[in-house]
Amino acid sequence: MITFRYSPVTEPELAFLVDMTGEPTEIRMMLPARTRLIENEAFENLKAAVEVQAYRSIQKRGSHKLPFKEYRRAEELGINLPEAEPVFEVGLLAGDTPEPIEIPMPNDFPLKKCYRLSKDRQDGCETDEANVHLLAAMGKFKEPFVPVSISPSYDGYSWADLPTIDKIEVAVGKELGSECVWNERLVAVDSLQITVHTSDNKVFESDVLMAVLEQPTKKRSWYCMNVYITLEARGQLSSTDIWYHLGGWNDDGDTWDTQLYYLEQELDQFWATIIGPAEYLRSKIRSCLYGVIKDWKKIIFEEDETLTILYKDGTEKVHKSS
In tens, the pLDDT along 167-191 reads 999 999 999 999 999 999 999 999 9
Q: Are 2 and 19 in contact (CB under 8 A)?
A: no
Identify residue 156 by its one-letter amino acid code. G
In tens, the pLDDT along 128-139 reads 999 999 999 999
Query: Per mean pLDDT, which range of 140-149, 217-226, 293-302, 306-315 is the poorest?
Result: 217-226
Write the DSSP string, 15-49. -------SS--S--BPTTT--SB--SHHHHHHHHH
CA atoms of 181 and 59, how far apart (whole Å): 54
As a whole number, the mean pLDDT across the chain is: 89
Sign, CA torsion 165/169/170/171: negative
* Residue 98, preceding peptide bond in cis (omega within 30° of 0): yes
Determine the distance from the C-alpha atom of residue 170 to the mean position of all C-alpha atoms in its chain, rounded to a whole number.
20
Whether residue 1 is predicted with pLDDT greater than 60 in this model: the reply is no
Indicate the pLDDT class of residue 222, thresholds 50, 70 and 90: low
Indicate the pLDDT class of residue 260, thresholds 50, 70 and 90: very high
In tens, the pLDDT along 60-110 reads 999 999 999 999 999 999 999 999 999 999 999 988 789 999 998 999 999
Q: Are 178 and 188 in contact (CB under 8 A)?
A: yes
CA atoms of 302 and 308, how far apart (whole Å): 8
Q: Are 195 and 211 in contact (CB under 8 A)?
A: no
Instruction: Check residue 57 and give its pLDDT.
Output: 92
Closest CA to 51 of 74, 69, 72, 68: 74
Please state the φ and ψ torsions of residue 122, each to the nearest 5 degrees. -65, -35
CA atoms of 188 and 271, how far apart (whole Å): 9
Whether residue 34 is predicted with pLDDT greater than 70 in this model: the reply is no
Which runs of consecutive H residues, i.e. helices, occur in the chain? 41-61, 68-76, 119-122, 128-138, 233-236, 239-245, 256-275, 278-289
Domain ranges of the chain: 1-84, 89-289, 291-322
